[in-house]
Copies of this chain bind each other. A is one copy, B any other.
Amino acid sequence: MAEPLSRNRISDVMAAVRKRIASRALAPGDRLPSIRRFATTAGVSPSTVVEAYDRLAAEGLIRAQRGSGFYVAGAGLPPLKLAEAETPKARAVDPFWVSRQSLDTDAAVLKPGCGWLPADWMPDAALRRAIRGLARGDSDLLSYYGSTQGSLALRRLLLGRLAEEGIEAGRDHLMLTSTGTQALDLICRFLLRPGDKVLIDDPCYFNFQALLKAHQVEVFGVPYTPFGPDVASFEAVLATERPRLYITNSAIHNPTGATLSPQTAYRVLNAAANSEMTIVEDDIFADFEPEPSTRLAALDGLDRVIRIGSFSKTLSASARCGYIAARPDWIEGLVDLQIATNFGGPSPMSSEIIAQMLAGGGYRKHMEELRRKLVRARRETADRLARLGVEPWLTPRGGFYLWCRLPEGLDSGDVAQAAVAEGIVLAPGNVFSVSQTAARFMRFNVAHMLEPRVYQVLGEALKRAAA
């Protein structure tokens, strides 16, 4: 028999796998290298690896999972751990650290690292008025699940806003979601599979990375410039990696505050079209712009661009309501997915509150006042940070973030760890950076930077870190 399978080679492969399991390099539930990869690495034929894996599976040491490969046997696959540490206290300064510190620490803690405005900057009176209106509202609205695409009143208002941007969309282009994050999550579930490639800005909103980790996709970063993603890098990564999806903020980018320029928008959209890539444009900070800038969804007309947004930054994060505007056939599939995984979208009560607040002329006034206050807060914060040697990377046109460079030699992660002990939550640069190249950067929320104590503690942390 000319069969080249050598019993020795098979034994060698089996022994190598056994050793890795014994040393816990491969733990119960871990996936073994693919047959092809193992064969290439070990310099043996794929059939040798197949035979070795099959024998180990017969022994019960590993198990084949249909359509997925071989896994180390044990108590099933381990649960999906997104954060590295085992306990909240031992957590590293990762995207979850910022979220948990911001969300779970009490009101005495100062939060220049958080992603929302202080309650007294929000439209409290209008919100209470809308809630009182709800208490007199229709019984069906208060009791029932609501329709699968969400409140028609709110969708009509959103369609009007899209039309103002020049996006001609109908009712079947739009659905409401529990949150802006859930909007993105549904899209990822709809379009991506584990192992797919996804492109994000570097830096970008930290929770994009956390979300993509949950989807087990491969993430690539494109350097962000004051005019949008660096176009040469963008085109290069599309050519070599052909990512399935690009996720970005066009208006008042988080964390930098930069704005996409028309030329960059045009080239980004062209490159995406050539590469058959879908773009998600998260427009959550749009209403903080002094005047509208270029939007990918408007240039493209909701063909390959999906628009998402929410009302958490402008009206109320407690209401929990987001939306997706996209091609009708995609909305159809996304609605099914939302039924299957959430049995519908946001609370109809919340949607009604948001619709009431958006419908009146009060919303425009509220946003004008917010923008005015934020101009002042950005200037004051920049001035006071400058005295500590902390410089903004860019002067944003709007919004509440300043993306700042710390004095040389400082690591913003260390500064954040020190500050949290003093009751201040900061947002260090590397939680925003796929390439982990933003250790000297820090994102400051200017609306939470008005208390002198922040600068004191920051100054001390900077001094200590420099010492």
Which A residues are closer than 8 A to B by beta carbons?
2-4, 31, 34-36, 39, 45-47, 50, 65-69, 75-77, 79-83, 86-88, 96, 99-100, 103-104, 107, 116-117, 119-120, 122, 124, 127-128, 131-132, 134-136, 139-149, 178-182, 185, 189-196, 207, 210-211, 213-214, 218, 244, 276, 312, 316-320, 329-330, 332-333, 336-337, 339-344, 346-350, 353
Q: Among the listed B35, B77, B144, which residue makes an inter-chain contact with A36, where contact means beta carbons less than 8 Å apart? A: B35
CB–CB B340/A213 < 8 A:
yes
In the complex, the chain B residue whose C-beta lies closest to that of A141 is: B318
CB–CB B181/A332 < 8 A:
no
CA gap between A332 and B89 in the complex, in Å: 12
Q: Looking at the assembled complex, report how far the CB atom of A37 sits from the nearest CB atom of chain B, in whole angstroms.
A: 9
Chain B residues in 8 Å Cβ range of A139: 119-120, 122, 124
CA gap between A180 and B82 in the complex, in Å: 22
CA gap between A141 and B96 in the complex, in Å: 22
CA gap between A207 and B192 in the complex, in Å: 22
10 A-B pairs within 8 Å (CB atoms) are namely A47-B47, A66-B195, A80-B191, A82-B333, A124-B143, A127-B142, A132-B132, A144-B317, A194-B194, A210-B340
CB–CB B132/A336 < 8 A:
no
Greatest chain B CB density within 10 A among A35, A75, A142 is at A142
Q: A4-B2, A342-B182, A343-B99 are in contact. Are A142 and B128 (CB under 8 A)?
A: yes
CA gap between A171 and B79 in the complex, in Å: 21
CB–CB A80/B46 < 8 A:
no
